[in-house]
Amino acid sequence: MADSAPTKIVDRATGREFEEKVYGEGALRFLYGGAVGRLVAGLFLKRRIVNWMLGQYWSSPLSLDRVKRFIRDFELDLSDFEVEEWNSFNHFFARRFKDGARTFCDTPWEFPAFAEGRFLAFDKVDATTSYPVKGIYLRPKEILGRGDQAEAFIGGPLMIARLCPTDYHRYHYPDSGRHIGMFDIPGSLHSVNPIALATKNDIFGTNHRRVSYLTTTNFGRLAFVEVGAMGVGRIVQTHDEDENFRRGDEKGHFAFGGSTILVFGQPGYWKPDQDILDRTLEGRETFVKLGDRVAASIRRTSERGKVVSTGSGETYTVTRG
């Protein structure tokens, strides 16, 4: 099954296909490639104290010498990021873009990318929907956990943004609105790399998660799920969840490690862009920059000048098709 993992990625801006250079690939293949490794992974990754200790190391000055090596090994271009003096690897890992380096699409019915990373998309998810790797569960009730609010997202769209260690690890609100519920779900910290997903089918439903229910201006209710992963010591909320938010505001960031964000929508409110849907069916991820359009409201018309309603019942006049 591991051979079917979606390791091919298409850069949406250029159309170029590339294969991801995996940080710690040898260790991942050991942990998820055989019975002994999977036993070690199960014992090791269920112990939060181990991941807490790793988090303490990555947040300490002892980890600083790894920054230059990481930049060199992965040939990172840091020209779009703020220039600052880092005091740990985690400080470097949570680096911010310079002002103006990324912009959010501002057409009301366009759904902007809430993170910069490798996207998969589904126009409808329910109890039978699976990841491109056969058998990887994407069941809303299992992923969203407690409460009855998950019912609202059965049969609705889903977007998944996978962030590998070389990516920008801050994430943002895709639209203006407010929180109507938020909670943590304790769990394991398995890797979210396709190497792991190809052999363990319940990672999104068993890893540690932060679930936020949002009501938005243009896209109805969203379930915004931050998934912790191997080596991620913390999921940090930087926005005051009691305050309203605006499209593009920063919501939070991950500490060191690969991570994933899942955003569920209500049926009939919005649909992921077709190119991302098509590549998902092919088992390929799409690399998208923060703020670029990834979906659109389906409660609107593309005819110019028409007054239309959005998913939240508000109206506006379409100025471009």
pLDDT of 18 reads: 86
Domain boundaries, the chain: 24-317
Query: The pTM is what?
Result: 0.83
Q: How many Å apart are CA 62 and CA 1, to the nearest integer? A: 38
DSSP of 129-159: -B-SSTT-B--HHHHH-SSSGGGGGTTS-EE
| Closest to 202 (Cα-Cα) out of 138, 123, 270 | 138
Residues 6+ apart with CB under 8 A from 158: 121, 122, 125, 129, 138, 262, 263, 264, 265
| Tens place of pLDDT per residue across the chain (321 aa) | 344 444 689 999 999 998 777 655 555 565 666 666 666 666 665 566 666 777 778 889 998 988 999 899 889 999 999 988 899 988 998 999 999 999 999 999 999 999 999 999 999 987 666 555 444 667 788 889 876 788 899 999 999 999 988 899 999 999 999 999 999 888 766 666 665 666 666 677 667 789 999 999 999 999 999 988 765 557 889 999 999 999 999 999 988 766 889 999 999 999 999 999 999 988 889 999 999 999 999 876 444 445 444 444 444 433 333
The whole-number pLDDT of residue 319 equals 35
